[in-house]
Structure 1
């Protein structure tokens, strides 16, 4: 069985949606104003965003986007950096990886 639906509570649904569409290719399949958005990826997984206030995930909480190779990880890292996000260069840890704080109050890992 695979996980194919996750809900995130975020403090800015619109900014979170735009971030996920721009950098990770998710598509918004439905929304209700600035309080809710349903996002879909190429494999049919659903990520929903719901507006909340005082969103505070545990320090180690994150969602991950696995890439096919290091070149793709580097490309996303560079694009985020050029767009003003604070990202460190990818490192070889449990995979080739880096983290970024997404608009909306959650962290994203990009790895291969």
Structure 2
């Protein structure tokens, strides 16, 4: 079986997207990157690259997701985002205990357990 290990997102603000993904989801940016490109890593071998574009137009349903080990962890991330001024609706039960947030740079993130 093959394992997906690389995803590239086009974003309007690479440093802001990097800061967001490091702060809330624990991705690491060991190389630093720059305003035009950066690579982030998780603990399971995923490489998430971010490339700058003047504008971003993802389809409405496009998103990346971060699965959490519990509903409480989802609630904790929700509270942190809300306290930091992000416009997020509370988690709800649908296909999972989940909510979505618009990330800096122009893409959507789902947090679920």
Once the two structures are TM-superposed, the CA of residue 4 in structure 1 deviates from its matched residue by 1.4
Name 1:7's counterpart in structure 2.
8
The whole-number CA distance in structure 2 between the counterparts of 1:108 and 1:70 is 16
Once the two structures are TM-superposed, the CA of residue 30 in structure 1 deviates from its matched residue by 2.3
Name 2:39's counterpart in structure 1.
38
Mind listing any 5+ residue stretches in structure 1 that lack a counterpart?
none
The whole-number CA distance in structure 2 between the counterparts of 1:93 and 1:34 is 37
The whole-number CA distance in structure 1 between the counterparts of 2:106 and 2:11 is 6
For residue 88 of structure 2, give the secondary structure of its aligned residue in structure 1.
Answer: coil
Name 2:67's counterpart in structure 1.
66
Name 1:55's counterpart in structure 2.
56
Normalised TM-score (structure 1):
0.96
Once the two structures are TM-superposed, the CA of residue 60 in structure 1 deviates from its matched residue by 0.6
- For the 8 Å contact 1:29–1:37, the answer to whether it is kept is no
1:76 to 2:72 alignment: no
For residue 101 of structure 1, give the secondary structure of its aligned residue in structure 2.
Answer: strand
Structure 1 segments of 4 or more deviating over 3 A?
Answer: none
Q: CA RMSD in A?
A: 0.9
Normalised TM-score (structure 2):
0.96
User: Which region of structure 1 is more displaced relative to structure 2, 14-23 or 32-41?
Assistant: 32-41
Size of the alignment, in residue pairs? 112
The whole-number CA distance in structure 1 between the counterparts of 2:80 and 2:4 is 28
The whole-number CA distance in structure 1 between the counterparts of 2:90 and 2:79 is 9
